[in-house]
A and B are shown apart, each in its own frame.
Chain A
């Protein structure tokens, strides 16, 4: 079956530090890959996505590249801000009506 593995958290960084959050997956077929972000007290919202191998998704300074050879979709940002403090979820979907599979999420705290 499908699965998503995220690195263990939480992660605490200083403002302007470089961020990498690891995500690897196991899937049948050719999944679409997503990163979602959850700010305190809110639902999840899409951060970025990639639908085929070597695609790069980007939004709000965050980037992730779909690596089929390593089955990975690591999230990166060159300079984090306090406002990036949130929970980040990696997810995949393999078919039109299939269910989205989520990783366990990782909490990022950015201190001034």
Chain B
């Protein structure tokens, strides 16, 4: 059982470039989300989805887009990368129950120069 798979593991971008961080889960989870982790800031929610075709903004959505065309996939798009988006990005999923824990991928470390 693969769980939550994120690709790539590492990425370096130049300011202004765009890219997509991939996230896939094989647990048939309804809920998926993207967080960024920065030193001293903990985890901050970027976007989330409660099911295919439904997405919503989290705390820090600016500069990022998401879509949820299937239950399994939840890609995160950086439209025009900025140095402030240098971070470690985590995708996570869970069932719809509030007692259900989040399952995290291993993260993508992004550097924007």
Interface residues of A (CB under 8 A from B): 32, 34, 36, 41-46, 49, 51, 89, 93-100, 102-105
Contacts and interface: CB of A to CB of B under 8 A. Distances in A.
B105 to A, nearest CB: 5
Interface of B: 4, 31, 33, 40-43, 45, 48, 50, 58, 90, 92, 96-99, 101-107
A93 B33 CA distance: 14
A49 B101 contact: yes
B97 A46 contact: no
Contact of B90 (A41, A43, A51, A97): A43
Given A97-B96, A99-B58, 5 more contacts: A44-B102, A45-B104, A94-B98, A98-B98, A99-B33
A89 B42 contact: yes
A103 B98 contact: no
